[in-house]
Structure 1
């Protein structure tokens, strides 16, 4: 599948911002079933490319002159559904057993996970757990925030793709299976998802990394485009940073993922 992606982020401030520094994880890479045919990031500032701890292609954005808004546009073409292996992961898999603040587990989550750990953890068990999470925590936009933990989302009983991924990751790690958070895009025929998406990778013995889109109760396939991975949302979020000044901030995000005709 040939996908054309436009991801626009706009920040508007009520006062002058004297300095902004942000980390952008907005660049997909080849591998894991996808190939990047074209990609660029346009900003009203200075960009410096680097690879972060988890091997993500990242950029540091710096605006060191007074400004009242920030415009970030990531755009390009990605081919998906290919038979390409995951990119080389330099980190030991044991890293992905670490608990973070967003993926901590409590007694309620442990009890939930244990019902899937009574048998040897495998792909069938993970599929069952994926469905059980969405049954227990239905998708409900606006019920949680970016700093909501797996424990709180599970307790609240509603959440979004980020929460589903965190709960799934927390349970997998508790069961001794390395798991990581994935940020990216999802193509829908009706264009209903106008924002970034999130899912989870799990390391399965004798299989390797497998990806689970918990919110959509499915494995990832040709409609998914990977951007970044990490232990949780904070490691893989598309944009993060800090500023000096600015007053109140308003952020608007728009994502458009369209299917293109395959080129010969």
Structure 2
């Protein structure tokens, strides 16, 4: 499946900032099943490209002149092949699997989370079906509803609140899986859902390493295995290390941010 993607992130400041540096994870990963046919990032400063330890293509943006706003535009087309049972081939991470077993502040496991995982998968997680069972149990406990959480909300808080969005579902899922001492990672990207208006948006889901399958990608929020409707930008240990844009600045006063994303299926010629 081919997708056309437009993604605009705009930061505005109440007073001019004198310096900003940001890490952009806005380029599709070089996984075997997806290929960027064309891809362009436009930003108000030089971009330095590198590949991080997780295998993500990153760009460092540096703005050294006084500025009251930053606008980052992404446009491109990507071709994505279906994934058989959610299995992702051609992983380019140089980290050992054990690195994805380590909890982070956003994915700490506690007794309530262990109970949730044990109830959803009493025999442990061995197959893609077990992953879907856990995803369903999480969605049953945490209703999708924006406004209750933010990027700092940890998995235990998400479970207690009972409301959240895709990144919250993913962090809780990672906490459950890592609580079973299994490697799992956070994935950020875009999802085309074949909805009536033919448009989708940015999204988050997870990969889990199953010994008999390798990395299996599961969309917790949509209770499905990822496939050709999922464009992968970054995979890492949690949102903090896989977020599309992350940085620091000097000055600027109060900050406001707006994001618009459009993902459309490319029409066949």
TM-score past 0.5 threshold: yes
Q: How many residues align?
A: 263
Aligned 1:33-48 pairs, distance under 5 A: 33-48=33-48
Moved more, 110-119 or 21-30: 110-119
Instruction: List structure 1 runs of 4+ shifted beyond 6 angstroms.
Output: none
Pick from 169, 187, 197: which aligns with 2:192?
A: 187
Q: Give RMSD over aligned pairs.
A: 1.6
Q: Kindly state the Cα deviation for residue 29 of structure 1 after the two structures are TM-superposed.
A: 2.5
Alpha-carbon deviations, 1:44-68, whole Å to 9, x = none? 1111111112111001100001011
| Aligned pair partner of 2:165 in 160, 177, 194 | 160
1:93 pairs, out of 97, 101, 106, with: 97
Within the alignment, does 1:255 sit opposite 2:261 as a pair?
Answer: yes
Question: Which of residues 238, 249, 258 in structure 1 aligns to 2:244?
Answer: 238
Aligned to 1:62: 62
CA change 1:193–1:251 in 2 (3 A) is: farther
* Cα distance, 1:30 vs structure 2: 3.0
Structure 1: gaps of 5 or more residues: none
CA separation in 2, counterparts of 1:220 and 1:194? 15
Q: 1:208, 1:176 → 2: CA distance?
A: 15
Report Cα offsets for 1:1-37 as digits up to 9, x if no partner: 1100011001111101100000000000332521111
| 1:104 corresponding residue in structure 2 | 108
TM (normalized to structure 1)? 0.95
Shift of 1:210: 0.4
Unaligned 5+ runs, structure 2: none
**Greater alpha carbon shift after TM alignment, 35-44 vs 108-117:** 108-117
SS in 2 for 1:86: coil
Q: For 2:61, what is the secondary structure of its paired residue? A: strand
Indicate conservation of the 8 Å contact 1:195/1:253, yes or no.
no
The answer to whether the 8 A contact 1:194-1:254 is kept is no
For residue 72 of structure 1, report the CA deviation from its aligned partner.
0.1
- Please report how far the alpha carbon of residue 240 of structure 1 lies from its aligned counterpart in structure 2 after TM superposition: 0.4
Q: State the match for 1:125 in structure 2.
A: 130
Q: Distance in 2 between matches of 1:104 and 1:81?
A: 34
Give the superposition deviation at 1:161: 0.3
Q: Which moved more, 1:5-14 or 1:86-95?
A: 86-95
**TM-score, normalization by structure 2:** 0.93
1:79–1:225 CA distance, 2 compared to 1 (3 A) = same
Give the whole-Å Cα distance in 2 for the aligned partners of 1:203 and 1:212: 11
Q: Distance in 2 between matches of 1:67 and 1:117?
A: 51
- Name the SS of the counterpart of 1:251 in structure 2: strand
Which one is further off, 74-83 or 144-153?
74-83
SS at match of 2:257: strand
Residues 175-202 of structure 1 show CA distances to partners (whole Å, capped at 9, x for unaligned) of: 1210000000011324587642000000
Shift in CA distance, 191/245, structure 1 to aligned 2, threshold 3 Å: farther
